[in-house]
Amino acid sequence: MEYVFKAIAHIENAYDEKFGVPRQSGLVNGLESKIVFEPEYRVREAFRGIEEYSHLWLIWVFSEAVREQWSPTVRPPRLGGNKRMGVFSTRSPFRPNPVGISSVKLERIEYGDMGPVLYVTGADMMNGTPIIDVKPYLPYADSHTDASNGFALSDRQGTLQVIFSEKADKKLSDEMRAYLYEVLSQDPRPQYKQDSEKIYMMKFGGMDISFSVNGDILTVNDILLPE
């Protein structure tokens, strides 16, 4: 059996590429994302009562991770990238149906030219990601504090200290510096490719960020602003 789902909305944020997107929702909480709906769903009544909820679920499509064939195992980056786990035991984007779920904090809703726009924080989705559903988060059904984190526990480990070079620092507003600090301190590198000599390039908020990592310290070397 096959089911056809339509994109009802997409997300707009500073995560210009997959590299740098937090590995799960709620890890980077400062950065705001906008949920912009397709014209058909720009209906004010469809959101009546949504402000009563502090958190929402976004159901979305890993549109960048579609593959012809599914693989029974994947290598979770935080396990060092050399250990294979069952795809259904992970949140890897490379799964039979490339569908993701993210719980985000609803900051506010605004009504304008684009219809109702939801402003959320905590998203782990790349700019432009298509969304197929928005639902309220219901803690009485969705929150299991006693659940075991399994081998994903280590996702909380490995935060870095972030240093900005003088050159880079001058190009950042206070707000953008704070966002970038939060994003980079999560350590966006694939765990199995650690090399202190390597210069990493990350697209973020229209900028090109170059950085390197030595031990627990990440240094932002330079920033190219959009022209």
Distance CA 194, CA 1 (A): 43
Rounded to an integer, what is the distance from CA 217 to the centroid of its chain?
Answer: 22
Q: Which of 68, 112, 113, 149 binds its own copies (CB under 8 A)?
A: 149
**Binding-residue total with its own copies (CB under 8 A):** 68
Decide: 127 and 13 in contact? Cβ < 8 Å: yes
- Select the span of 13-21, 129-137, 160-168, 207-215 touching its own copies (CB under 8 A): 129-137
Q: Counting contacts by CB under 8 A, is residue 15 touching its own copies?
A: no
Cα 221 to Cα 3: distance, rounded to the nearest angstrom: 47
Q: Which one among 65, 153, 201, 225 touches its own copies, defined by CB under 8 A?
A: 153
Q: Which two tokens stand for residue 40?
A: 């058909």
Residue pointed to by tokens 């700019």: 127
**Which helix (H) or strand (E) segment is 109 a member of?**
strand 99-112
Interface of this chain with its own copies, residues 67 to 96, rule: CB under 8 A: 72-73, 84-91, 95-96
Q: Applying CB under 8 A, does 139 fall inside the site for its own copies? A: yes
Q: Which of residues 28-47 bind its own copies (CB under 8 A)?
A: 41, 43, 45-47
DSSP states of 161-181? EEEE-HHHHHT--HHHHHHHH
Q: Give the interface segment with its own copies, choosing from 25-33, 182-190, 201-209, 213-221 (CB under 8 A).
A: 25-33
**Residue from the set 19, 77, 130, 163 that interacts with its own copies by CB under 8 A:** 130
Question: Which tokens in the block code for residue 62?
Answer: 């890993």
Q: Which is nearer to its own copies, 149 or 196 (CB)?
A: 149
Strands (DSSP E) found in 22-98 = 32-37, 55-61, 73-74, 85-86
The answer to whether the CB of 125 falls within 8 A of the CB of 111 is no
Nearest to its own copies of 61, 213 (CB atom): 61
Instruction: Name the minimum Å distance from CB 188 to its own copies.
Output: 17
Q: Which residues sit at the interface with its own copies, rule CB under 8 A? A: 1-8, 24-27, 41, 43, 45-50, 52-55, 57, 59, 61, 72-73, 84-91, 95-97, 99, 101, 103, 130, 132-153, 155-156
